[in-house]
C-alpha cells in the first residue's frame, strides 16, 4: 500500500487530471466530461462553499482516480456520490474500492447517514453496477428511459451505518 496516497486538497492541475481520468474510461459523453471538469473548477473557485468534496488517489505520485461527493441540498445528512472514476490503465487493482471506502468514511465523519449513487442501465455500465452491489450498495430504483430511450437511471443507496469505521 505504500504506492498509494490519498489527498483531499484540490489543485489547479486536477482540472486536466480529471479530464484525462474520465476520458480514458470510455464511459462518458463529452458533455459529461465537461461537467466533471466544471465541478473541479467550481471547487477551486469557491472552496468548501461549492458543496463539492474530492478525494484523489495517487499511485506512485500520479493521480489515477478520484471521487467527488457532497451533501445533497435540502437534506440534513444525505450525500450524493457524484463521481468515482479510475484511469483505464489502473483499473482492476482494487483502487476504486480503496477510494470508495475512504469516501464513505469521510461522509460518515461529516455526519452523513446515507450515500446515493446513480448510474446507467446500458450494458457498458454493468461493471459499475456490480461495483456498487459488491460494495454493499442496494439497488433502490430504476427509472426507465431516463437518460435516453433504452437507457434507464439506476439508483443505488448505502446507509452509512453499513460503513465500517476506519
pLDDT in tens, 30-60: 999 999 999 999 999 999 999 999 999 999 9
Q: Is the pLDDT of residue 161 over 80?
A: no
Do the Cβ atoms of 36 and 19 come closer than 8 Å?
Answer: yes
pLDDT band at 112 (very low <50, low <70, confident <90, very high): very high
Do the Cβ atoms of 58 and 4 come closer than 8 Å?
Answer: yes
The pTM of the full predicted model, rounded to 2 decimals, is 0.92
Instruction: Domain count for the chain, please give it.
Output: 1
Q: Is the pLDDT of residue 162 over 60?
A: no
What contacts 116, CB < 8 A, 6 or more positions away?
Answer: 72, 78, 79, 80, 81, 155, 156, 157
Q: Is the pLDDT of residue 120 over 80?
A: yes
Residue pLDDT, tens place only, 82-104:
999 999 999 999 999 999 999 99
Q: What is the mean pLDDT of the chain?
A: 94
User: DSSP state, 89?
Assistant: G
Sheet with 53-59, strands from edge to edge, namely 4-7, 53-59, 62-71, 78-86, 114-120, 151-159, 138-148
Domain of 84? 4-162
- Tell me the CATH number at 158: 3.40.630.30
Q: Is the pLDDT of residue 1 over 60?
A: no
**pLDDT at 2 (0 to 100):** 61
Q: What is the CA radius of gyration of the chain?
A: 15
Which residue shows C-alpha cell 484540490? Answer: 10
Q: Is the pLDDT of residue 14 over 90?
A: yes
User: DSSP state, 164?
Assistant: P
C-alpha cell at 17: 487530471
What contacts 109, CB < 8 A, 6 or more positions away?
Answer: none
Scanning 47-156, the segments in alpha helix (DSSP H) are 95-109, 126-134
Q: Is the pLDDT of residue 143 over 60?
A: yes
pLDDT band at 165 (very low <50, low <70, confident <90, very high): low
Amino acid at each position: 500500500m505504500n504506492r498509494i496516497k490519498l489527498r483531499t486538497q484540490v489543485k489547479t492541475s486536477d482540472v486536466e487530471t480529471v479530464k484525462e481520468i474520465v476520458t480514458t474510461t470510455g464511459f462518458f459523453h463529452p458533455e459529461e466530461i465537461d461537467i466533471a471538469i466544471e465541478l473541479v473548477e467550481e471547487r477551486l473557485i469557491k472552496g468548501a462553499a461549492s458543496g463539492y468534496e474530492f478525494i484523489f488517489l495517487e499511485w506512485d505520485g500520479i493521480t489515477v482516480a478520484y471521487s467527488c461527493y457532497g451533501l445533497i441540498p435540502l437534506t440534513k445528512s444525505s450525500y450524493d456520490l457524484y463521481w468515482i472514476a479510475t484511469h483505464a490503465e489502473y483499473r482492476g487493482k482494487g483502487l476504486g474500492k480503496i477510494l470508495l471506502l475512504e469516501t464513505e468514511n469521510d461522509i460518515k465523519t461529516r455526519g452523513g447517514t446515507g450515500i446515493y449513487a446513480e448510474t446507467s442501465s446500458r450494458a457498458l455500465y454493468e461493471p459499475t453496477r456490480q461495483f456498487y452491489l459488491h460494495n454493499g450498495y442496494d439497488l433502490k430504483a430504476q427509472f426507465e428511459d431516463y437518460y435516453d430511450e433504452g437507457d434507464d437511471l439506476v439508483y443505488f443507496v448505502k446507509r452509512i451505518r453499513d460503513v465500517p469505521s476506519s
